[in-house]
A = this chain, B = another copy of it.
Amino acid sequence: MPKGEGKIEIVVEEVGPKRKMSIKEKVDTVYPWMEDTVRRTFTVKTILKRFPILQWLPKYSSEDAIGDLVAGITVGLTVVPQSLAYANIAGLPPQYGLYGSFLGAFMYIFFGTCKDVPMGPTAIISLLTYQSLHTVNIDPAMLPVYGTLLCLLCGIIQLFMGLAGLGIIIDFVSGPVSSGFTSAVALLILTSQLSYILGINGGGSTFPEMIYTLFSNRKSIQLTDTALGIVCIIILLLMRLLADVKIGNVEDDQKNSNSQRIFNKIIWLIGTSRNAILVGICGVIGYHVNEQNHFKLMGYIPPGMPTFEIPSFSTKNGTIGFLDMVQDMGSGILVLPLVGILEDISICKAFANGKPIEANQELIAVGLCNIGNSICHSFPGSGSLSRSAVNNSSGVRTPFGGLYTAVLVILGLLFFTPYFEYIPKASLAAVIIAAVVFMVEVRVVKPIYRSKKSDLIPGVATFIACLILRLEIGIIIGIGLNLVSILYHAARPKISIEINKTRAGIEYLLITPDRCLIFPSVDYVRNLVTKHSIKKGIPVVIDCSHIYGADFTAAKVIEILTQDFSKRGQALVFYNLKPSIAAIFEGVQPKNFFTCYDKQKLDEIIRNTNQNGSNV
C-alpha cells in the first residue's frame, strides 16, 4: 500500500478502551443529546434535503423554464395515451390511469431529487397491480377500491422506508436480477397486449397462461385490429428513429442555418411525440369508421376530474374489512413499493451523471406522491422508465416540468375524454409494445457472460421465475439467490496457505484468510488451520492483513485455537492483526495469544520457538 505524508484519516479506527462515564456524566449528556437531535432534525441541511425544490428554485432561470415547458408538454402528450393503456394492463377502467397522472406528478416537484423522473403509472407497476388485484378473493366490481387502497398502502410503506433510512434495501437488488425482472415484465406486457393487437380476448397472469389463452382464442382473430396494430407498431418504431434524424451539420446544430435548425426541431418533436400523434390519428380513424365496427374501441370514459377523498378501508358496506382487503391482495403489498422505488432509482442512476443518488429522499417523494394519488382514486405508480427517456431527451432541467404534464392531464380529463372513447384498442397496445420491447434486455447477457458467468444464474432464474410464477415470487427468488451467495462467501472465505522461510531458513506455514473472521466462517477457518498445522507440524503464522472485522464467536474459536496449539507445543502467531480486532479477541482473555506487526519481530519469534521447541 503506498503511503506518504499529509495523511488525513477520515475513517479512524477506535483503539483501546474508552473511559467509563459516571452516572452524573451520563445524565448530563442526555439533555444536550436531545437538543442536538432536535436541532439536527430542523437544520437547514435537513430541510434542504427533505424539500429539494428549495435547492433549485432560487436559481431557476428562464432557460430552465423553457426546457421544463417543452419537456413537460412532451411528457404530457406521452402520458395521456400511456396512462389509458397502463390502466388496462392493471385491469382497471382507463380513466384510473389519468387519475394517477396529475397530482403525483405535481407533488414530485416539491419532494423529488431527480429532474428526469416522470411520476405516474408505469408498465411494471401496472402489471404488479394486476397480479395483486386479480386473485380469486377479489370481486371484479370492487377492483378500483382495492387499487386505491393498494396505492395508499404502497405510498405509506415507501414513506416509512424513506423516513427510516431503509433505502439500503434497494442496493440488494443486483444488476442481473433487475435485468431479469425487467425483461420478464416486458415480455409479459408484450404478450398481454398481443390480444388487443389480434382483437381477441386475452387473460392469465403468467406467461404460459397468457400464451395458452391466446392460442385457444386463435380462431376469433380480428384481421382489421391486427392490421391496424401491426401498422401502428411499425410506424412507432420508425418514428422513434426520426427523433435522431438530423440534416445539415449532424455534430453541432449551432453551425446549421436557421431553416435547417427549425426543420431539425420539427422532426425531433414529431419523433418524440409519436405516441400522441399516432393515437390522435387512430382516434380520428376510429371516429369515422365507428359505425362499421371495424375496430375494438376504448369505449365510454367518464368525463371530469375524480372526486378527492380518502381511500375506503372496507368494501361491500363494510362486510369486507381492512384486514380482509390486505389479505386478499397478499404479498404484492410488500413487493410493489420495493419494485416501484427500484424503477424510480434506476431512472435516477441512468441520468445521474456521476452525482450521488438520494435513495431515502426518493422513497419519501414517491411515497408521498402515491399517498396523494390515492386521494384521486389512482392505482400505484412510480417514476416511469419509458417516459423518463422522453423527458430527458426533451431537455428537462428541473422537476418543475411535472407541472405542465399535470396540467395537460387535467385538461384531458376535463375536455377530451369524449374523444378518447374512439381510440382503437389496438393502437394503444401498439404504443405499449413499442415502449416495452426495448425493455427486454437481451444485450446484457453477453457482458455478464464475459464479466462473471455465475452472475447469469440469478438473472436467468429471476427471468424464468417471473415468467412462470407471480412476479413478486420471481424477484424474491432472484434476490434470495444473491443473498445466499453473499452469505456463502461470508461463511467460506478463501484461504491461501503457503510455506515460507524466515531469513534464518526456518520454515513456517503462512495462512492468509481473505476477509473478516465472523461466526459463519470461523469454524471453517479453524478446521482448515488445524488440519494443515497438524500435517506440517511447523510454526504457523496467520496473516490478518485482510481481517477487518470479527465478533465474539470468532474470539471464542480463536481462544480454543490458541489452546490447541499450546497443547501441541506448536507456535501460533497472528501477524498484522488490527488493534481493534485484537481488542475483540482479547475480550475472551485467551492464553498464549501472540500478535506481531513487523517481519523482523516475526522472524525472531519463530527462531525462539524453534530453539525452545515450544511456544514462546
A438 within 8 A of partner (CB): no
Supposing A488-B168, A519-B172 touch, asked if A551 and B496 sit within 8 A by C-beta, the answer is no
A218 within 8 A of partner (CB): no
Interface set, chain A 560-616, CB cutoff 8 A to B:
560-561, 564, 567-568, 575-576, 584-589, 599, 602
A16 within 8 A of partner (CB): no
The 8 Å CB contact of A487, one of B486, B543, B587, is B486
Chain B residue with Cβ nearest A578: B514
* Contact yes or no, A519 B575, CB < 8 A: no
Interface set, chain A 467-503, CB cutoff 8 A to B:
482-483, 486-492, 494-502
Which of chain B's residues have a CB closer than 8 A to the CB of A1?
Answer: 510, 512, 543, 545, 576
* Contact yes or no, B588 A2, CB < 8 A: no
Supposing A168-B488, A450-B587 touch, asked if A516 and B516 sit within 8 A by C-beta, the answer is no
A316 within 8 A of partner (CB): no
Q: Which of A3, A354, A512, A576 has the most B CB atoms < 10 Å from its CB?
A: A354
Which of chain B's residues have a CB closer than 8 A to the CB of A53?
Answer: none
A22 and B259 alpha carbons, distance in the complex (Å): 60
Identical chains bound together, number: 2
Q: 6 additional contacts, CB 8 Å, given A354-B561, A448-B587?
A: A1-B576, A2-B602, A171-B524, A354-B567, A357-B523, A452-B584
Which of chain B's residues have a CB closer than 8 A to the CB of A36?
Answer: none
A591 and B592 alpha carbons, distance in the complex (Å): 52
Which of chain B's residues have a CB closer than 8 A to the CB of A492?
Answer: 168
Interface set, chain A 257-314, CB cutoff 8 A to B:
none
Chain B residue with Cβ nearest A585: B451
**A1-12 interface code vs B (CB 8 A; 1 in, 0 out):** 111111111110
Q: How many residues of A contact B (CB 8 A)?
A: 91
A489 and B516 alpha carbons, distance in the complex (Å): 10
A384 within 8 A of partner (CB): no
29 contacts between A and B (CB under 8 A): A2-B575, A2-B602, A3-B500, A4-B501, A9-B498, A10-B497, A11-B495, A168-B492, A168-B520, A171-B519, A171-B521, A176-B553, A354-B560, A354-B568, A355-B530, A356-B531, A357-B527, A447-B555, A447-B556, A447-B589, A450-B588, A451-B584, A452-B551, A455-B553, A482-B519, A486-B490, A489-B516, A515-B548, A546-B548
Which of chain B's residues have a CB closer than 8 A to the CB of A354?
Answer: 530, 560-561, 564, 567-568
A208 within 8 A of partner (CB): no
Chain B residue with Cβ nearest A177: B519
Supposing A353-B564, A356-B530, A524-B171 touch, asked if A452 and B550 sit within 8 A by C-beta, the answer is yes
Which of chain B's residues have a CB closer than 8 A to the CB of A4?
Answer: 500-502
A552 and B457 alpha carbons, distance in the complex (Å): 12
A175 within 8 A of partner (CB): yes
The 8 Å CB contact of A491, one of B172, B451, B487, B560, is B172
The 8 Å CB contact of A2, one of B455, B483, B500, B567, is B500
